[in-house]
Amino acid sequence: MSLLPIPASGLPDGAVMPEHMLSIVVPMYNEAENVEPLLARIHQAMEHYSQPWEVVLVDDGSTDATANEIRRLAAHYGAHVHAVELVRNYKQTAAMQAGLDAARGDVIATLDGDLQNDPFDIPRMVYRLLTEDLDLVAGWRKDRQEGFWMRRLPSRIANRLIGRVTGVRLKDYGCSLKVFRGSVIRSVRLYGEMHRFIPAWLATVTTPRRIAQEVVTHHARIYGQSKYGISRTFRVVLDLVFMYFFMRYRTRPGHFFGGIGIVLGALGSLVLAYLFCVKLFLGQDIGTRPMLFAGFFLLIAGVQMVTSGVLAEMLARVYHEANGASAYVARPRPDEQESDGWRRPAS
């Protein structure tokens, strides 16, 4: 079944794709009508692909016939189409993580299962990832085929806010069409609804200089219903607060809580010092003044925040020491075949 025109691959003339193994991960929820045309489109796009590839379809606890369609078509196409069925609807982030866990390739591409992302963009993005030595190539839906007020405007605001907070400035955080270096994306675990922050998460294990974006094709939805609404904007704000804390204070939470505690404690101390001077030098009654209660509450809150910072520091150290987690991620060093790396005295 071919619903859309077949574009060119977009690779430069005479380009040779570097050796790799590619996994295409597609989380799906109630997309029964899209499974068959999506797989047909993927096979059209990958028909002349010069490297080994596989497809991992993740059914996120669909209530329609999505799981049955995935099983049927996996048997039809062969062993390179893998089905992962979740026992209930865990939402897109968990479904994507399940697909990443099942993927075996050293390059991993992700896309939505609603036919709005075009698999024909994948070879071009993979080629750029490998030839430019990148860790992520994110899709940019420059000509987005969706409503302005309910979809594009909130996304533009969210993209700018996320870029300002995380320091990873992309024009389209919400595009699911992304190509990753497998070793990098596997070093990150996705929880909650953090799939929209994947580029920012990757910035915790790689440099933003190795993250690029590529203009991709975006199609209007043909079958099924959109799973997104304006309500997700509020969830983005909450997730962004956590993302800000994680990126800057994961290994030093005491600085976050302690900084707030010092500010609150200083304000409370100033208020109490002022009231002390008023009582001592002016003889005014301060026992019933609201400032007295405010000063005490600020001081107590400051002490509590500092204490929370100390406890958070202890928990962070226990986590890193008990789990062998490192405060940094370094790239593998190249094998040194000519020398063992030691400077030895001249004989």
Relative to beta strand 22-28, strand 107-110 is parallel
**Distance between the two ends of the chain, CA-based, in angstroms?**
74
Q: At what angle do helices 153-166 and 232-249 cross, to 10 degrees?
A: 10
Q: What pLDDT does 114 receive? A: 86
Q: Answer yes or no: is pLDDT of 106 > 60.
A: yes
The answer, yes or no, to whether residue 30 has pLDDT greater than 50, is yes
Give the residue, 305 or 165, on which the prediction is more confident. Answer: 305
Do 91 and 62 meet the contact criterion of CB atoms below 8 Å apart? no
Q: Which two tokens stand for residue 173?
A: 């955080």
Amino acid at 238: L
**How high is the pLDDT of residue 1?**
41
Average pLDDT of span 341-347: 55
- What are residue 82's DSSP bridge partners? 56
What integer pLDDT is reported at residue 153 of this predicted model? 61
Q: Which position has the higher pLDDT, 290 or 174?
A: 290
Least confidently predicted of 61-65, 231-235, 343-347: 343-347
Any idea of the CA torsion for 46, 47, 49, 51, to the nearest 10 degrees? 90
Cα three-residue angle 152-150-191, rounded to 5 degrees: 75
Q: What's the pLDDT tens digit per position in 42-76?
A: 999 998 898 999 999 999 999 999 999 999 999 99
Lowest pLDDT segment from 170-179, 225-234, 306-315: 225-234
- Over 60: is that where the pLDDT of 6 sits? no
Position with higher pLDDT, 341 vs 105: 105
How far out from the chain centre does Cα 340 lie?
Answer: 39
Higher pLDDT, 287 or 341: 287
**DSSP SS3 for 129:** helix
| pLDDT (tens digit per residue) in 170-227 | 888 778 899 999 999 998 888 766 777 788 888 878 888 899 999 998 887 776 566 5
- Tell me the domain boundaries of the chain: 22-249, 253-321
Band (282; pLDDT cuts 50, 70, 90): confident
Quote the Cα angle for 236-240-242, to 5°. 125
The candidate with the shortest Cα–Cα distance to 10, out of 137, 108, 110, is 137
Tell me the pLDDT tens digit for each residue of 261-274: 999 999 999 999 99
pLDDT of 347 > 60? The answer is: no
Mean pLDDT of the chain: 82
Judge contact between 317 and 252, C-beta under 8 A.
no
> Considering only CA atoms, which of 85, 44, 90, 82 is closest in space to residue 67?
85
Q: What angle do CA 182, 188, 191 make, to 5 degrees?
A: 125
- Residue of 182, 152, 56 lying closest to 111 (CA atoms): 56
pLDDT tens for each residue of 132-145: 999 999 998 887 76
| Overall average pLDDT of the 282-293 stretch | 86
Once rounded to an integer, what is the mean pLDDT over residues 301-305?
92
Task: Choose among 186, 173, 160: nearest CA to 213.
Answer: 173
CATH, domain range 22-249: 3.90.550.10
